[in-house]
Structure 1
């Protein structure tokens, strides 16, 4: 049985946030508090410990009392760069990943991904959402993976490929479909931030 004690949560706050004018997304106020605080509050009960992946404002992120790790690859190379340093820093058998800008992420994210992980012999399980029209969308930055996948990921990154779904295809992976797409909504524009605040008011 996988329990929360086996899980390290990795919050991805290392992006460039070009659509938000380049500001550091994890520090944007959401209901008056930096977005990163929503992510910490949601993930704390779901994991043994938390690690934050950030490439700017390191001191601010470090003030939350968790280790802050920077990408080892230059140029903000996306979530896989964060996964890579997260796996390196992970001291538990599993790593749970989430971006810093999805403040409504499910309280049962880890639990649902664990159930699927235990059902099959999977190395990685990621979230998907079902929209109102029945379409299913992958939400690959929300995933639970075995922490021994570092070699696999590094070999993949050495090919120069940064596409998250292509790496998943190389693994025994599966997905869990969540019925509330809003749970994974992330903030890319000031308008989206306002809309999310209204939904969660």
Structure 2
């Protein structure tokens, strides 16, 4: 199965970190974003970064920077749309997204998302993990997204859609279930305490 291009979502406001770019925070000796790139790049055919504001601050990473086309920080769906528009220009059928603040996501993320979408006319898949109380939890910034739905997504965003799972449920999305193995594979850095926890995990996660 052909690997799709990947898009790292970094368009949020990072309000719980006091603002700024979470991806530029240092984890160990490298920015968070460097860890995410190293994990995603081997899984995809190309890579871009969804971020807003001055793209020059990401110049050292050597990635195309895709701003939201929807104003007002419309959330992850706006970043997905930016990625789909970019991928359409390259003739790709889909993209896989990952969050810029989640440094330990699975190294088989893309293959597992694609496998979960096998047989779907329009493969749309979110990553999920088991949860003792809720059955499973979906991770809406980690997904396989078909380019063919980009105009539907654009219209939904213009109509005020902001919740990822509401839009994906509308299109019959599936889930790819990932088991935790000693740590939450989708642990993300939202607070200074999370950054400290990630530093501890860094030595334990390959």
TM-score bracket, shorter-length normalisation: over 0.9
| Alpha-carbon distance, 1:122 to partner | 4.3
Per-residue CA shift, 1:94-119, capped at 9, x if unaligned? 10001100000100000101111114
1:106 equivalenced with 2:103 (yes/no): no
Distance 1:146 1:74 in 2: 22
**What is the TM-score normalised by the length of structure 1?**
0.93
Distance 2:126 2:24 in 1: 26
Q: 4+ residue stretches of structure 1 with deviation over 6 A?
A: none
- Distance of aligned partners of 1:34 and 1:56 in 2 relative to their CA distance in 1, 3 Å threshold: farther
| Alpha-carbon distance, 1:60 to partner | 2.5
Gap regions ≥5 residues in structure 1: none
| Alpha-carbon distance, 1:56 to partner | 3.3
Q: Which moved more, 1:33-42 or 1:54-63?
A: 54-63
Q: Which residue of 2 aligns with 1:144?
A: 144
Question: Could you say what secondary structure the match of 1:148 adopts?
Answer: helix
Contact 2:70 2:157 in 1 (8 A): no
| Alpha-carbon distance, 1:145 to partner | 1.5
Number of residues paired by the alignment?
198
Distance 1:190 1:69 in 2: 27
Q: Which residue of 2 aligns with 1:192?
A: 194
Question: Could you say what secondary structure the match of 2:153 adopts?
Answer: helix
1:154 equivalenced with 2:151 (yes/no): no
1:49-60 equivalence runs, <5 A: 49-60=46-57
Contact 1:131 1:179 in 2 (8 A): no
| Alpha-carbon distance, 1:138 to partner | 0.8
CA root-mean-square deviation: 1.6
Contact 1:123 1:145 in 2 (8 A): yes
Contact 2:32 2:100 in 1 (8 A): yes
| Alpha-carbon distance, 1:159 to partner | 1.3
1:72-111 equivalence runs, <5 A: 72-90=69-87, 91=90, 92-111=92-111
Per-residue CA shift, 1:19-58, capped at 9, x if unaligned? 0000211100111211111111011111000010111351
